């Protein structure tokens, strides 16, 4: 046996000894890899197999925490159907605006279909109504102590106690300033006031500013019918036939008549006048007191002695 064959035999023996030590003398079969799930495996429940456990299936712990009700956690609790307190309050204000008399809380909750809610939820909503700036609460005068169940509720408009032509005129007469009344504020408590405003305007009792596009009333002022004087229709026709000259012709005619036009701006003359430039005066150099008197003999001018 050559040296190369002896080295090969020694190497094979060492490898077999190492394999026996690692395996512990026993051979274990590896588990085959699990196959990827197929479409057919998902329908095994219909064929009699064991159904696959869904991720969204509630467990016993989740059922206990939710009181036995199935809750789908992938969906939000509020689905945007207007079930919030803010949305319900807006509906309540809109409904109270259409009522002429105060309403009890049962009527408000009945309109909102909220009488089936718990007592705590109803009490919370009533307290929110009492703190709302657009809702006015009237306590029950027959009771010394008020609870959340007592009293009535009504809409509180921006301009209170104005729901007729007489009340509008009285409100305008009480104003101490010259500001007008916004029609949008007036409609907050008197939604159908357009016809009344048109009648008062035709009677020359109010002044109405309307939009140019659609003629909708925007602002209202108090007017005096005694200051209105009718104009003869013939004068209106004659005035419509008068030809008004242009602005340039009017200015020329006024200047020809030695009249000063009102459209003439005196600032134009200042702009057209030539500007006179003022010459800047040269500042005189101030001579200070001589302090080098001991060197006057050295600083004496000898330029006249040049050849």
d(CA 186, CA 24): 98
- Domain assignment present for residue 115? The answer is yes
pLDDT at residue number 42: 47
Rg (CA), the chain: 50
Question: Is residue 141 in some structural domain?
Answer: yes
Distance CA 181, CA 221 (A): 7
Say if 13 falls within a structural domain: no
Question: What is the tens place of the pLDDT at every residue in 177-215?
Answer: 988 999 999 999 888 899 999 999 999 999 999 999 889
Last residue of a domain, one of 175, 195, 227: 227
H or E element, residue 173: helix 165-174
Between 252 and 288, where is the model more confident?
Answer: 252
Residues 171 and 122 in one domain: no
CATH for 221: 1.10.10
Say if 10 falls within a structural domain.
Answer: no
Q: Which residues contact 82 (CB under 8 A, 6 or more apart)?
A: 88, 91
Domain range spanning residue 127? 85-155
Tokens 């609870």, residue?
Answer: 147
| pLDDT per position as a tens digit, 120-179 | 999 999 999 999 999 999 999 999 999 999 999 999 999 988 989 999 999 999 999 988
Q: Is the pLDDT of residue 111 over 90?
A: yes
Please give the pLDDT value at position 150.
94
- Split at pLDDT 50, 70, 90, the class of 23 is low
Are 141 and 176 in a shared domain? no
Question: Do 146 and 179 sit in the same domain of this protein?
Answer: no
Number of domain units in the chain: 2
Domain boundary among 112, 129, 155: 155
191 in a domain, yes or no?
Answer: yes
Q: What is the pLDDT of residue 249?
A: 80
Residue 276 inside a domain? The answer is no
Beta strands, E only, the chain = 103-104, 135-138, 152-155, 181-182, 206-210, 217-222
Distance CA 172, CA 187 (A): 15
Q: pLDDT tens-digit profile of 227-266? A: 888 899 999 999 999 887 777 787 778 888 888 777 665 6
Mean pLDDT of 52-72: 47
């Amino acid at each position: 046996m050559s040296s190369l064959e002896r080295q090969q035999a020694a190497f094979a023996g060492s490898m077999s000894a190492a394999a026996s030590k690692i395996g512990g003398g026993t051979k274990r079969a590896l588990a085959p890899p699990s196959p990827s799930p197929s479409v057919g495996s998902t329908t095994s429940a219909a064929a009699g197999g064991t159904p696959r456990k869904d991720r969204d299936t509630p467990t016993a712990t989740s059922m206990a925490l939710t009181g036995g009700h199935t809750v789908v956690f992938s969906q939000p609790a509020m689905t945007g159907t207007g079930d919030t307190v803010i949305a319900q309050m807006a509906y309540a204000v809109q409904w109270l605006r259409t009522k002429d008399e105060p309403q009890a809380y049962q009527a408000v909750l009945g309109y909102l279909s909220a009488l089936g809610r718990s007592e705590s939820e109803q009490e919370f909503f009533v307290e929110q109504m009492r703190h709302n700036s657009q809702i006015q609460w009237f306590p029950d005068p027959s009771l010394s102590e008020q609870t959340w169940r007592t009293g009535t509720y009504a809409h509180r408009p921006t301009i209170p106690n104005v729901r007729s032509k007489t009340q509008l005129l009285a409100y305008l007469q009480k104003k101490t300033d010259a500001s007008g009344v916004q029609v949008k504020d007036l409609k907050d408590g008197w939604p159908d006031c357009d016809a009344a405003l048109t009648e008062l305007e035709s009677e020359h009792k109010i002044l109405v500013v309307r939009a140019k596009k659609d003629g909708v009333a925007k602002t209202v002022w108090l007017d005096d019918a005694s200051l209105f004087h009718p104009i003869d229709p013939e004068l209106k026709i004659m005035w419509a036939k008068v030809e008004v000259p242009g602005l340039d012709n009017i200015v020329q005619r006024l200047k020809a008549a030695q009249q000063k036009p009102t459209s003439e701006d005196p600032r134009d003359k200042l702009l057209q006048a030539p500007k006179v430039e003022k010459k800047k005066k040269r500042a005189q150099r101030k001579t200070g007191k001589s302090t080098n008197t001991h060197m006057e003999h050295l600083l004496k001018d000898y330029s006249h002695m040049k050849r």
